[in-house]
Amino acid sequence: MKVAYQGEPGAYSERAVRSLFTGAEPLPCDTVRHAFSRVTSGEATFGVVPLENSQAGSVNETYELLSNTSLLRIVGESIVRVDHALLGVPGARLESVRRAHSHWQALAQCEDFLSAMRIEPVPEHDTAGAARKVAEAGEPGDGAIASVDAAGFAGLIVLAERIQTEKENFTKFAIIGATDPELGPADKTSMVMAVLDEPGSLLGALEPFATRGINLHKIESRPRRGAAFEYLMYVDFMAPADDPEVEAALEEVGAHTSLLKILGSYRSAGEPV
């Protein structure tokens, strides 16, 4: 079985793949969109894509792709502990690094360290890919922010460890697919909705969950593409979509929305890996 992930060997997403699918072949992809494409085409059975970081927030591209696909859904999730390190070419010193290459979220998570060291952030597609590029360039003034594992893959040395601002730093990854990976019974559901622009519609869309004791775990509003100043609301609640109480709640929610789509019903993540 092949499992697509965004990044290169040594990326945090690869760690999520290996923790969930023992024995599967990880299939690296340049972008989140590429990972979706490989699962849609059948080249990979499942995909593992970043959904949210505990410090930097949601990965908007992933949510937009989930909203727009009719073939894939969230079928599971994994939480990975993220400890960023500053990597350099052999012989480099911490004091010599003037530029740090990494994914923009990793750069944001290490903003305090970079500012204190007067290191310029340089955005790249992903953390492990940034490590590879720095190794290929061989410039002592360039470093990469990635995992310690990525240093081994790229042939770099570790100049500083745990450089993220929030030491307890985690990224949540969504497993996407068209079939059930059998990770356990569903206890969580993700959905997207567009609430009608009418008085009381937002309350009407949320109250059915409260009256039935369904815990709304996350609510996030994002601009709706192609509709200026209209918004989509991404909601996670802690119950399976086929629960009769959930089905009754969603029927009521539908009266207050112009769009209502289940993005997936799945087993919530256990302990971070």
Which of the residues are catalytic? 171, 173
Contacts of 247 (CB under 8 A, 6+ apart): 241
Look at the block and give the residue holding tokens 């460890």: 161
Q: Report the relative pairing of strands 2-6 and 25-29 from DSSP bridges.
A: parallel
- What does the CA dihedral 120, 124, 129, 135 come to, rounded to 10 degrees? -30
Closest CA to 69 of 161, 209, 178: 178
Contact 129, 8 (CB under 8 A): yes
Exposed/middle/buried for residue 169 (C-beta within 10 Å: 0-12, 13-18, 19+): buried
Closest CA to 144 of 213, 158, 68: 158
